[in-house]
Amino acid sequence: MQVIGNPGVDKEDFEFWSLAVSTIGGCGVCLESHEKVLWGAGRIGRPSTRRCGSRRVVNAAAVTLESESALATV
């Protein structure tokens, strides 16, 4: 947990990376949290105007790649 509190990089960069990871992982609670921080810093548009579309695409791509990888080992 200390890494999250003090990641050693610019806070906004960390929030963008965390947003990407949360998108791939499909965690709605985490997505909203990171969007709120970035929106508050003026780095992204209002989160509710972009809700779900890009998240679903990125999450679907991640699940597809994971599935293909799993099937390749069978």
Q: Look up 30 and say whether it is catalytic.
A: yes
So what's the pLDDT on residue 1? 42
- Residue that is written with structure tokens 């999250």 in the block: 4
Residue ranges of the domains in the chain? 10-72
Select which of 7, 16, 24, 27 is catalytic: 27
So what's the pLDDT on residue 73? 78
Residue pLDDT, tens place only, 49-68: 455 566 667 777 777 788 88
So what's the pLDDT on residue 19? 84
CA 67 and chain centroid, separation? 20
Return the closest-CA partner of residue 29 out of 40, 39, 38, 19: 19
Q: Look up 52 and say whether it is catalytic.
A: no
CA–CA separation, 33 and 18 (whole Å): 10
- Residue that is written with structure tokens 């080992």 in the block: 73
Select which of 14, 16, 30, 43 is catalytic: 30
Residue pLDDT, tens place only, 24-53: 887 888 888 888 888 888 888 776 545 556
User: Rg (Cα) of the chain, in Å, rounded?
Assistant: 14
